[in-house]
Structure 1
C-alpha cells in the first residue's frame, strides 16, 4: 500500500546516532526537503547506488553527544562521520547555506522517509529507481530550491500504510 502524505505533525524532536552510538544528534525543526543523490561521489561514499538526505534547518540541528569527524571531502562541503564506527552521519554544505543534510537512516525513527527529489540522474545506475517526485540531471540551480521546499512542505508527512 502506498504511503499517505497528508499529516502535518513531524513528531519532533528526532534523535539519531551512528551505528555504535558514540555520536548522537537531535533535529528540532521540520525538514526542508528529502532527496536521493545519484552522483558517483555519493555512490562511492555510501557504497550504494545513491545517498539519501533529509535537509534540515541549521538552527534545528545539534550534535548532542560525541564528536563527529570530517571524512570524505575536506573542502567547503564537509562530510561528518563517527570517528569510531565510521558511519556517515551528515553533511554541512558551504557556509551560508543554512541547512544540514542528514542521512535519514541514522534517525531512530526514519520509516517516514521518502525521497521527494533526486539529483545527478546523469550518473545514476540504470536499475536504481526511487519514488521521487522531481528529478534533475545534475544539481538544480539554488533558485529552484524555494519552490521545491514549498512543494515538499505542502505534501505533508508520509506515513506507511
Structure 2
C-alpha cells in the first residue's frame, strides 16, 4: 500500500482533491452502519485510520458534507466523492476511504463495525467484528494486533 518512502497518495474520482498519507494505517475497517450504506450507495464503507499528523490534503479543497453532526465527513465539491472523515471524539486520527488510494489495499478490512446493521450477504473477511463501534478499551489491543499482523 505504501511506496519505498512509506507514503501513499490518493484522490477523488475527478482528481481535483488529492491527499498524501505517511506510513501505514493504525487499522482498517468496514463500517456496515446505515449511514455509511447510504453515503456510499453500497453495503459498507471501507476505510483506514491514519494518525492526523500523517495525513495531508495536497491538492484542492475538500468540503464538509453528509450529515452535519459532530463527525465531519469530507467530500470533493465537484464530483462529490466521500474522501475522509474526522470522527468526533477521535481527533488523533483521520478515517480515509482506502478505495480512493492510487493503489488500494489488497487485504480485507481488519475490523467490521456495526454488523448489527449489515446486509445479510455483506461479508468482508475481517478478522474482528463488532455489533456497533468498538468500545474505547478495544482500540489499543486492535491497533497493536493490526501492527503485528501487518509488520514488514
Query: What band does the TM-score fall into relative to the shorter chain?
Result: over 0.9
Q: Which residue does 1:142 correspond to in 2?
A: 136
Q: Which runs of 5+ in 2 are unaligned?
A: none
User: Following TM superposition, by how much is the alpha carbon of 1:144 offset from its aligned partner in structure 2, in angstroms?
Assistant: 0.6
Q: Which runs of 5+ in 1 are unaligned?
A: 1-8
1:102 to 96, 119, 126: 96
After superposing on structure 2, the runs of 4+ consecutive aligned residues of structure 1 that deviate more than 6 Å are none
Secondary structure of residue in 2 paired with 1:73: coil
1:80 to 74, 82, 87: 74
Q: For residues 134 and 105 of structure 2, what CA distance do their matches in structure 1 show?
A: 27
Report the TM-score when normalising by structure 1.
0.88
How has the CA–CA distance of structure 1 residues 45 and 96 changed in structure 2, closer, same or farther, with 3 Å as cutoff?
A: closer
Q: For residues 111 and 29 of structure 1, what CA distance do their matches in structure 2 show?
A: 13
Q: Matches of residues 7-22 of structure 1 in structure 2 within 5 Å?
A: 10-11=2-3, 12-22=6-16
Q: Which residue does 1:133 correspond to in 2?
A: 127
How has the CA–CA distance of structure 1 residues 96 and 122 changed in structure 2, closer, same or farther, with 3 Å as cutoff?
A: closer
Q: For residues 133 and 89 of structure 2, what CA distance do their matches in structure 1 show?
A: 18
Instruction: Tell me if the contact between 2:55 and 2:94 (Cα under 8 Å) persists in the aligned partners.
Output: yes
Q: Which residue does 1:34 correspond to in 2?
A: 28
Report the TM-score when normalising by structure 2.
0.93
Instruction: Tell me if the contact between 2:98 and 2:105 (Cα under 8 Å) persists in the aligned partners.
Output: no
1:66 to 48, 55, 60: 60
Q: For residues 13 and 22 of structure 1, what CA distance do their matches in structure 2 show?
A: 19
Secondary structure of residue in 2 paired with 1:108: coil
Instruction: Tell me if the contact between 2:75 and 2:83 (Cα under 8 Å) persists in the aligned partners.
Output: yes
User: Following TM superposition, by how much is the alpha carbon of 1:79 offset from its aligned partner in structure 2, in angstroms?
Assistant: 0.4
**Count of residues in Structure 1 that have an aligned counterpart in Structure 2:** 150
